Amino acid sequence: MTPTITTTTAAPDQSERASQIVDLWLTLDVEAQHETLARLIAATVHPGPGSALERFAGTGHLDHQSALEEVNAARVPLEQEDWLDALGRYILYAAGARS
């Protein structure tokens, strides 16, 4: 019987890339930081292609009503519920700032 050789590869160290992203994010004004974080959350929780959250994540175009409906209908793991709350607050804030 031939022994099975199992190899694993470690994920590449992303600490330098993460540092670059954080440094870039810190150069943004507070409004741009909030939008960037909201788009990142939307990219993580959107229900699929063509959704308002997917469009917001990809383009920055925010259909406030549709996006809020998607947030309210979203089902995420417990550890991401705070993300949805933050995204919902951002959408409400952005809609108010627009009026």
For 64-82, what is each residue's pLDDT tens digit?
999 999 999 999 999 999 9
- Domain layout of the chain by residue ranges: 32-98
CA 41-44-46 angle, to 5 degrees, is: 95
Most distant CA pair in the chain, distance: 73
Cα separation, 39 vs 57, whole angstroms? 4
Q: Which residues contact 64 (CB under 8 A, 6 or more apart)?
A: 91, 94, 95, 98
Note the pTM of the prediction, 2 decimals: 0.76
Element (H, E) at 32: helix 30-45
Does residue 9 have a pLDDT over 70? no
Percent of the chain surpassing pLDDT 70: 87
Phi then psi dihedrals of residue 6, to 5 deg: -110, 130
What single DSSP character describes residue 59? H
Cα separation, 70 vs 58, whole angstroms? 16
pLDDT of amino acid 6:
63
